[in-house]
Amino acid sequence: MDVSLSAEDQAFRDEVRAFLGENAYQAGTNYMEWRLGWFAKAREKGGWDVPKWPTDFGGPGWSPTQHYIWEQETARSTTPMDAPFGVGMLAPILMGYGTQEQQDRFLPDIRARTVNWCQGYSEPGAGSDLASLRTKAVLSDDGTHYTVNGQKIWTTMAHMADWIFCLTRTDDSGIKQEGITFLLFPMNQEGVEVKPIITLGGAHSVNSVFITDVEVPVENRVGEEGKGWTYAKGLLQHERTGLAGLSRSLVALEKLKGQARTVTRGNGTLMDDPSFATKVAELEIDLMAAEFTELRSLAAASHGKDPGPESSILKLKGTEIQQRIAKLTVEAGGIYSAVRGGGSAGPGFAQNGMSSYLASRAYTIYGGASEVQKDVIAKNVLGLKRG
């Protein structure tokens, strides 16, 4: 998509490119030292380390076009690993609903990337139907702490997290969306057990978390008791926007086209094959349409609006696009894609194609399954009512 840039935005793009080039990772450098140094330098630029934070909390106050430029340029560059749970998900909740004490306590470490967070949402029997969660939090008689018991599942990076933000049930007398309370507690304490789940692609990124008689001080409750569902919905909107990954998909699609041009088909390449070229073109059109939706969402955010139902559209289409790119990569690799990481036969890109494809099957499930997103879109975008 060709977005016309003003002279000011072109200057900003040049500045971003220069920053990314000057601070790119150099082979042989200690990665963790480079990572923390990169974020420190980005902070010195005036909030570039937290581009989506409001200016009141140290964000840069960028326009929608500047956000778009940042996403585009960082997707094309090597930037530090940055899990979304602290900066992108918990931080907006603390800014909107946390106390001043909680903001002062947690936001600096989140911004410095010195404390890692994980998200305690899904449970066995409460994934897409998250409001059916059963992890119980009981307030002590003296009102000083909650005792938490239950299990969370599919908890990404729980084995590396220092803290967890966790949805718990404090009251089950009303409808299931009521009586849910938002708690924060450290992972390294007695009563918290993390067990790995190895996914279809062979990776360990998700876990089961077992919580047994864990005491959580009442000052670690975010907002009011029983109002956690309201906060969780806002967090999910931020999460779903991030999971769309449109800028990364643009880069991945260009990479796929380049890879397909290295595969011989008759007197030409795979990109000359009408069937394959049609699939790529259809994918490119859908990605362009999703980009325009993302720009509308950014424009709304620049006027102080929270992510709305558009985040469900982005999550739905964005994750489907990621899956289609992974599938076409396997198709481009042909029989060599079945090797799954071994051997030197066939094109190099085929060796990891199958693992990426298998991992991509989860994209339309986590963060709210596609079926859930379609319900949200039907209700809040199209105005349809249940029969």
Active site residues: 239
Rg (CA), the chain: 22
Cβ contact 270:276 at 8 Å:
yes
State the angle between helix axes of 100-112 and 31-44 in degrees (0 to 180), rounded to the nearest 10.
120
Cβ contact 276:324 at 8 Å:
no
Cβ contact 353:330 at 8 Å:
yes
User: Residue holding tokens 């709304």?
Assistant: 300
Tokens read off for 8: 């000011």
Burial 238-267 (b: 16+ CB within 10 A, else e): bbbbbbbbbbbbbebbeebbebbeebeeee
**Composition of the chain by helix, strand, coil, percent to 5:** 50, 15, 35
Q: Please report which residue ranges of the chain form alpha helices under DSSP H.
A: 7-22, 31-44, 64-75, 84, 91-97, 100-112, 228-243, 246-260, 274-302, 310-333, 353-360, 370-380
Tokens read off for 192: 């918290």
Does an H or E element contain 198, and which? strand 192-198
Judged by DSSP in three states, 215 sits in: strand
What letter represents residue 74's amino acid?
A: T
Cβ contact 222:98 at 8 Å:
yes
Rounded to whole angstroms, the Cα distance separating 251 from 230 reads 35
Judged by DSSP in three states, 227 sits in: strand
